[in-house]
Amino acid sequence: MSLYVVTGGAGFIGSHLVEALLGRGERVRVVDNLSTGKRGNVDAAVQSVGSGGRPFGRPELVVGDLGDLDFARRALEGATIVLHQAAIPSVPRSVKEPVASNRANIDATLNVLVAARDTGATRVVFAGSSSVFGDTPTLPKREDMPTSPLSPYALQKLVGEQYLRLFTDLYGLETVVIRYFNVFGPRQDPSSPYSGVISLFIKALLAGTAPMIHGDGEQTRDFTFVANVVDGVLRATEAPDVTGQVINVATGTRTSLNELLRVLQALMGTSLVPAYGPGRDGDVRDSQADISKAARLLGYTPRVSLEDGLRQTVEWYRASAS
């Protein structure tokens, strides 16, 4: 029986992957240092699947720091498929704390690859990031377009991608990079200033306080509901002909922050006036994925629209606030 190891499995995206894998009856191990992840996310994933037909009960939870190679080896022992989601996933935090961010995003990735190679894992799927494209002019972004990282986070994700490719070339380890584009959904933690913008906007609107927009709000993003990402990643665990590939998983559209806020306010029945502040260092202006490679290699198309995803997300924040 295969063992799926989800690093960062107590985090936002990781816990959704855990939920989907448990739902398919897979054997799952979560590896997390619980820095931004929470045990509660794993509990929520387990609860949401329910007990019916699940042969393995709770996933094993292994807590520790993947920046330590000995720990990484123990954490990946016996792994078949590794979904490497663990990261410090924030552009502004990487600008403020580049060394901590480098350890979490590069050192840990290298250790995971070494451990995966040595334990005989068949495939590693890595959480890449749209931020690697920077402000290159052409939209939508195709995977083979030039990269131009504007922040330590973006550079670290790019180095991670290149390490994956090297491990495929040098050691024959099957690796796939899935580039995420501004993922949102239930369980995204809104409690830090580094949190994703959708979680922060919803939190502000629920509290009746003005959402903060950095810059003029006309920057655009390919906001992707987490269920779409889970679908893309799980396809990448089993698709043939994807070894060594980098694949965008997103919606293929872009929405400005001003428009996003309008849609959210309409959904939530609020009309708060946002506060506009200075633009953020390391911020990209526009981001939109070309998702034709994901369609071709993974059979992926986004299942949940932005508006449906926002509706589900708002419902979740409302329920968890009450």
Burial, 224: exposed, middle or buried (Cβ in 10 Å; 0-12, 13-18, 19+)?
A: buried
Closest to ligand UD1 by CB, 33 vs 131, is 131
Closest approach of ligand UD1 to the CB of residue 193, in Å:
8
Closest to ligand UD1 by CB, 133 vs 167, is 133
**Separation of alpha carbons 244 and 123, rounded Å:** 10
State the catalytic residue, choosing from 4, 153, 163, 300.
153
Which residues here bind ligand UD1, judged by CB under 6 A? 89-91, 129-131, 180-182, 196-197, 200, 212-214, 219, 221, 257, 280, 283-284, 287
**Separation of alpha carbons 178 and 190, rounded Å:** 24
Residue 182: phi and psi, rounded to 5, are: 45, 75
Question: Residue with the closest Cβ to ligand UD1?
Answer: 131
Closest to ligand UD1 by CB, 115 vs 178, is 178
Closest approach of ligand UD1 to the CB of residue 131, in Å:
3
Closest to ligand UD1 by CB, 56 vs 194, is 194
Burial, 194: exposed, middle or buried (Cβ in 10 Å; 0-12, 13-18, 19+)?
A: middle
Tell me which amino acid residue 311 is: R
Closest approach of ligand UD1 to the CB of residue 1, in Å:
32
**Separation of alpha carbons 179 and 132, rounded Å:** 9
153 catalytic, yes or no? Answer: yes
Closest approach of ligand UD1 to the CB of residue 284, in Å:
4
Q: Which of 79, 64, 289 is nearest to 174 (CA)?
A: 79
- By annotation, the residues acting in catalysis are 153
